[in-house]
Amino acid sequence: MKVDLVLLEKLCNAIGVSGGEEEVRELILKEIKDHVAEVLIDTMGNVIARKSKSTEGKPRLLLDAHMDEVGFMIVNHDGDGFYTFQKVGGIDDRILPGLKVLIGENKISGVISSKPIHLASPSERKNSISFDSLKIDTGGNMGIEPGTRAGFGSQFQANKETIFSKAIDDRIGVATLILLAKQEYLNLDLFLTFTVQEEIGLRGAKVTAKSVNPQAAIVVDATPAYDQPTYDDQENSFYNTKLGRGPAIYTLDSGTLYDRRLVNYFEKTAEAAGINFQFRQPGGGGTNAGAVHLANTGIPTISISVPHRSTHSPISSSRIADWENTLLLIEAGLKNFHTTIIN
């Protein structure tokens, strides 16, 4: 399996803020429709695809990636093209001043504006800029209605080794599922779910897991890498994951205790295939697995993510090699899967 940077670029540049995933959904449907037997869109906008219809007692597996990204919603027009807005999903306020945004279906340009430092009081200069003082400036009344969503305006770039883009979380997961959908799996009844609203509470996955009701699930996401030097050059023991060390397998996060049988299975699969991988540090954060594993009578679940730096901001970075190894690991795991693994 090979990475497809053209596909990833299209997906990353698309705007799909939680609740408004249309553009991403349409790209996905175009890509997979010739490679899956069934596809439907449920009441929340999730895409649920089934690889093949003839499944005769094969284990039912679910692959999940979320379509949405963090962004903003316009809540009020203050006049003259200045808009009050709210965040959708977790975004650090400190990356906002001066940020370019693209608003609505027509991707109208705007910039998040704040008082210049020259005019700031001494106490204001000492603190980061308060969220309430920020407005989106579109340069004049563009007729934008409250309720319109806006996303980061940054564009995808890559060099030989590294991707620089917004929404690596989780378009890299979406791209992974699309590429996996183009393979064949004679041993499985494989479902692929492209879910909505993960960033605001795993909302889409709470529903798809119940509908599909698989015997096991693999959630593909992007996970932060905090692998930078500490201010005092002490050992960095809180890195979460590291770039260049391959796909990250989860053991525990705030939403899920991952099924150890699946953790062991993927560890062994990676070792057998000589695929570089790492364990994500157990701790906070979470993926759609938090929703999936508690559906119905419970679903053994694993998360495998691509590490990325500077999460939830206009430019995150990932290693192409880490993505490639993620594809290889999941492909190998799927092709060798049998029910005795989760007896």
Partner 1 sequence: MHNLKEFLFELIDMPGVTGFEDPVRERINAEWSSAGFETKIGKTGALIASKGIRTGDIPRNKVMIAAHMDAIGMVVRSIRGDFIQCAKAGGIDDRVIPGLPVTVYASKGREIPEPIEGYISLPHPKSLKPGDEEGLILLDRLLIDVGLTNAELKEKVNIGDVVSFNTKPFELNSKLICGHSLDNRASVAAVTSFMHEAKDIPKDWEVYCVATSGEEENFNGAITATYEINPNIAIVLDVTFGKGPGSSDWQTFEVGKGITIGFGPNLHPKLVDLAKKVADRFEIPCSLEILPTHSGTDAYAVQIAREGIPTLLIEIPLRYMHSAAEIVSLNDIERASRLIGYIINSLDAKTLEKISWEVENEG
Partner 2 sequence: MKALIKRLTEACGPSGFENGLRQMIINELDGYYSGYKVDPLGNLVVMIQGSLDLKERKKVMVAAHMDEIGIMVTHVDEKGFIRFTQVGVLYPAYLPMARVRFSNGLIGVVGMEPGTKLDQPGFDKFFIDVGLSKEENPIKIGDAGCFIGDFVDMGKRVVAKSMDDRISVAIAIEAIKKLRQPKNDLYFVFTCQEEVGTRGAGTAAFGIEPDLAFAIDVTMTGDTPNNKIIDVHLGKGPAIKIKDFWMTADQKIVKWMESCAIQDKIPYQREVLIAGSTDARAIQITRSGVSSGCISIPCRYVHSTVEMVDMSDVEDAVKLIVGLLKDEIKV
Residue 11 DSSP SS3: helix
Residue 213 DSSP SS3: coil
Options 54-62, 79-87, 106-114, 270-278: segment touching partner 1 (CB under 8 A)? 79-87
Minimal distance in Å, beta carbon 64 to partner 2?
A: 17
Under the binding rule (CB under 8 A), the answer on residue 22 touching partner 1 is yes
Under the binding rule (CB under 8 A), the answer on residue 200 touching partner 1 is yes
The string of DSSP codes covering 106-138 is TTEEEEEE---GGGS-HHHHHSPPPGGG-EEE-
Cis peptide before 34 (omega within 30 of 0): no
Residue 26 annotated as catalytic: no
**Which among partner 2, partner 1, none contacts residue 197 (Cβ within 5 to 8 A by kind)?**
partner 1
Question: Given 198, 199, 324, 331, which residue is catalytic?
Answer: 198
Residues near partner 2, by CB under 8 A: 215, 235, 237-238, 251-252, 257-258, 260, 263, 279, 281-283, 293-300, 342
- Cα–Cα distance, 159 to 38 (Å, whole number): 37
Minimal distance in Å, beta carbon 127 to partner 1?
A: 22
- Cα–Cα distance, 156 to 172 (Å, whole number): 12
If we measure between CA atoms, which residue out of 284, 167, 164 comes closest to residue 222?
167
How many other β-carbons are positioned within 10 Å of the β-carbon of residue 194? Answer: 32
Those residues with Cβ within 8 angstroms of residue 311's Cβ, 6 or more apart along the chain or in another chain: 169, 222, 224
Options 173-181, 204-212, 258-266, 317-325: segment touching partner 1 (CB under 8 A)? 204-212
Under the binding rule (CB under 8 A), the answer on residue 113 touching partner 1 is no
Under the binding rule (CB under 8 A), the answer on residue 201 touching partner 1 is yes
Under the binding rule (CB under 8 A), the answer on residue 66 touching partner 1 is no
Backbone angles phi, psi at 50, to 5 degrees: -120, 130
Alpha helices in 153-202 (DSSP H): 168-181
**Which among partner 1, partner 2, none contacts residue 139 (Cβ within 5 to 8 A by kind)?**
none
Under the binding rule (CB under 8 A), the answer on residue 42 touching partner 1 is yes
Structure tokens at 6: 């053209």
Minimal distance in Å, beta carbon 300 to partner 2?
A: 6
**Which among partner 2, partner 1, none contacts residue 73 (Cβ within 5 to 8 A by kind)?**
partner 1
Options 86-94, 123-131, 235-243, 267-275: segment touching partner 1 (CB under 8 A)? 86-94
Give catalytic residues, as residue numbers: 198
